[in-house]
Chains A and B, each alone.
Chain A
């Protein structure tokens, strides 16, 4: 039995030991899954036929000093093993921790720098692990295939991106995910002392999409995250971003969503005792388009230290009549005006994927006729 088999068995045992997911869960007094999301409709069995995860599936292009290797070839590395051994009480997260087909490790050694573009060639579950050594820097863009389908497939695809930033490292990471009808993306980052992470994450929900992120911000570290959720009509998108602070750390989390279907946008900032001098700001903004649009927002703060500054805010609503009138009075059609506005709203993510294409094919397209 290989080490990898060991990890899989461990995860599989834990998966089977957890009770089946109910379609409606309460956790800490907050309703997590609404009646629109029925897990009982999904194929939630632990993936079979993945005896050996593929070594292919990724195209990595870049320059600088880094190592890119299939995840399987690095399982004996202590820190990789540590990532793989992380288990969860969440059934779905367990799938993403162990049920992947394509796995890659990107390792930037201490003091070096690298700039990469990583493309996933198909829509199978993947696992991507980044390690950025002390004092090094990484700029990376990860793109999964474009094009959403509303096919009837209920096979759940659970993928994951994990980042380990050692002290004084700098990471600029952008990724676009969500290309399968039922896809869950997990993200985690562990920021070492005085490191920094700039993150732009764009998730396009299929029939059911979940995008959960968790970041631990170490002492003196800083996080700047922009997370976008696009939820087409007849889709359900659930986006959550949790941040936990150590002392003198900073976080700015900007969550934006364009919702035509049903969207849930949640964030939690935790500041434990002795995380002195921390600063945190979490903002959630949701633009709702069309009669079918529904949104739930829930920004939360949990503070155990007084020497901090923490704030959050949320807003849900539609594009203002004045803004639309301004654009239409300049000759744009209603569809063009809405599209332009949304492109502006999501402009930080233009570097990940051409927004015009995303909006035309995935979000607005022929559906805009019923947007007002």
Chain B
């Protein structure tokens, strides 16, 4: 692991800062704290956590979630995992759920095989290399062949330190015929100086396996969110990425799926709201690298205040990936006079029998829709809130209900405030 870190550091230093997309000139890499030890010891139960943290997590609904519908639960605070727990029956089935730091010590052979090898190598881009050099925390989730984890596994990331860099590294492996749902939540309070989140998530979906990775992101609005997520999907496998994005000053995030086996499938769902001073750029990268693969991408973004929401995606059909199909749909809603949006999709098709399509719309809330609702007794605020919820519904219905309700509430409040 030390060799890998040193190599990643050399790759990071050799690569220039990206000059495309959202500007990163405000990111002061030299001012960041790259490792912050949490002030608390690792806890074996949530009730063992200090009172202030317990209060935070209770407000987030984590204890209740753990009781009622999670198969596993983890918390990363600052740069370390301070809590992890999994239902006993899963451990008996061979499921492994632990912090990446612990997994490196306990399962070095497995980690060596999967950690930044073929999924996200350090050369992927500059911030993947940075993660490779300075990573800490994150999750190792392994589901053996044929095991279907019926309830989600969740990890919550909390950053509570000014100018901190958070570099969690997560690996999810679903062996053949396995299935699992993984949920990430992230938040950070606002400090004078923002930080950086450059996490990496590597997913390996075996033959006929299913993985759904959901992220609900609410970083502080002066934080840079430059994460990397990539999945390799084998024959018959299915990968679902679900992203709900509210926070950060700048987001550049492009979950990627490599459809490496015949019949593999990827579905990407993304919803975001970019408010004042925020530029949220996200998209999907799909590489069809085998025959009969398919992909579906749905993105819904809302821009309010001076916010800017951008979709930037790529669909590639490699030579030899015959009979592939891919459909991308991205829609943007502008609800303020100063908001803006952009869409930059690219489709590269190297097989003539592929069927690749893309469509996008951008505009404001339609007057007819507002009039219809207001004529049925809704106030303008209520009508706008309802329309926005409906706009996001195709994506939010993929999020676990408890989080979707919370997410919808936050968005509706933001919309109502904007109207007021």
Chain A residues, Cβ within 8 Å of B336: 306
| Given known A-B contacts A29-B312, A297-B358, A300-B344, A310 and B20 have beta carbons under 8 A apart | no
Query: Contact at A313–B346, with CB atoms within 8 Å?
Result: no
Contact mask B335-351 → A, CB, 8 Å, 1/0?
11111111111111110
| Given known A-B contacts A29-B21, A310-B363, A311-B360, A316 and B347 have beta carbons under 8 A apart | yes
Chain A residues, Cβ within 8 Å of B361: 309-311
Query: Contact at B359–A311, with CB atoms within 8 Å?
Result: yes
Query: Contact at A306–B337, with CB atoms within 8 Å?
Result: yes
Q: Report the nearest A residue to B360, measured CB to CB.
A: A312
Residue in A273, A291, A302 with the greatest tally of chain B CB atoms within 10 Å: A302
Query: Contact at B342–A293, with CB atoms within 8 Å?
Result: no
Chain B residues, Cβ within 8 Å of A315: 355-358
Chain A residues, Cβ within 8 Å of B354: 288, 316-317
Contact mask B299-342 → A, CB, 8 Å, 1/0?
00000000000001000000000000000000010111111111
Bound: A166/B274 CA distance, A: 40
- Decide if A289 is an interface residue (CB 8 Å cutoff): yes
Chain B residues, Cβ within 8 Å of A296: 346-349
Query: Contact at B362–A303, with CB atoms within 8 Å?
Result: yes
Query: Contact at A298–B345, with CB atoms within 8 Å?
Result: yes
Chain A residues 312-365 with CB under 8 Å of chain B are: 312-318
Main secondary structure of the interface of B (DSSP, over half): strand
- Decide if A301 is an interface residue (CB 8 Å cutoff): yes
State the interface size on chain A (CB cutoff 8 A): 38
Query: Contact at B364–A316, with CB atoms within 8 Å?
Result: no
Among B332, B340, B344, B350, the residue within 8 A (CB) of A28 is B344
Q: Report the nearest B residue to A313, measured CB to CB.
A: B359
Chain B residues, Cβ within 8 Å of A57: none
Query: Contact at B340–A304, with CB atoms within 8 Å?
Result: yes
* Minimum C-beta distance from A281 to chain B (A): 10
Q: Report the nearest B residue to A28, measured CB to CB.
A: B20
Query: Contact at B342–A313, with CB atoms within 8 Å?
Result: no
Bound: A29/B362 CA distance, A: 21
Query: Contact at A306–B20, with CB atoms within 8 Å?
Result: no
Contact mask B241-285 → A, CB, 8 Å, 1/0?
000000000000000000000000000000000000000000000
- Decide if A95 is an interface residue (CB 8 Å cutoff): no
Bound: A313/B328 CA distance, A: 9
Query: Contact at A297–B352, with CB atoms within 8 Å?
Result: no
Among A30, A290, A291, A312, the residue within 8 A (CB) of B346 is A30
Among B342, B350, B363, the residue within 8 A (CB) of A302 is B342
Give how many A-B residue pairs fall within 8 Å (CB-CB): 117
- Decide if A26 is an interface residue (CB 8 Å cutoff): yes
* Minimum C-beta distance from B1 to chain A (A): 33
* Minimum C-beta distance from A321 to chain B (A): 9
- Decide if A299 is an interface residue (CB 8 Å cutoff): yes
Among B340, B344, B358, the residue within 8 A (CB) of A314 is B358
Query: Contact at B346–A317, with CB atoms within 8 Å?
Result: no
- Decide if B353 is an interface residue (CB 8 Å cutoff): yes
Chain A residues, Cβ within 8 Å of B21: 28-29
Bound: A318/B363 CA distance, A: 32
| Given known A-B contacts A28-B20, A311-B362, A303 and B350 have beta carbons under 8 A apart | no
Among A26, A297, A303, A314, the residue within 8 A (CB) of B20 is A26
Chain B residues, Cβ within 8 Å of A273: 338, 340
Residue in B343, B352, B357, B363 with the greatest tally of chain A CB atoms within 10 Å: B352
Chain A residues, Cβ within 8 Å of B345: 298-300, 314
Chain B residues, Cβ within 8 Å of A295: 347-349
Query: Contact at A297–B347, with CB atoms within 8 Å?
Result: yes
Chain B residues, Cβ within 8 Å of A312: 343, 358-360
Query: Contact at A294–B359, with CB atoms within 8 Å?
Result: no
| Given known A-B contacts A310-B363, A311-B362, A301 and B352 have beta carbons under 8 A apart | no
| Given known A-B contacts A29-B312, A30-B344, A300-B342, A306 and B363 have beta carbons under 8 A apart | yes
Contact mask A281-293 → B, CB, 8 Å, 1/0?
0000010111101
* Minimum C-beta distance from B89 to chain A (A): 47
Bound: A291/B319 CA distance, A: 10
Bound: A305/B362 CA distance, A: 10
Bound: A306/B335 CA distance, A: 7
Residue in B335, B349, B357 with the greatest tally of chain A CB atoms within 10 Å: B349
- Decide if A308 is an interface residue (CB 8 Å cutoff): yes
Bound: A346/B332 CA distance, A: 32
- Decide if A5 is an interface residue (CB 8 Å cutoff): no
* Minimum C-beta distance from B340 to chain A (A): 4
Interfacial residues, chain A to chain B (CB-CB below 8 A):
26-31, 273, 286, 288-291, 293-318
24 CB-based A-B contacts, threshold 8 Å: A27-B20, A29-B21, A30-B20, A31-B346, A273-B338, A291-B352, A294-B348, A294-B350, A297-B346, A297-B349, A297-B356, A298-B345, A301-B343, A301-B362, A303-B362, A306-B337, A308-B363, A309-B361, A310-B362, A312-B359, A315-B356, A316-B349, A316-B356, A317-B353
Interfacial residues, chain B to chain A (CB-CB below 8 A):
18, 20-21, 312, 332, 334-350, 352-364
Given contacts A29-B20, A305-B334, A315-B356, 4 further A-B contacts (CB under 8 A): A26-B20, A273-B338, A309-B361, A310-B361
Of all A-B residue pairs in the complex, the 6 with the closest CB atoms, nearest first, are: A29-B20, A306-B334, A288-B352, A313-B359, A293-B352, A311-B361
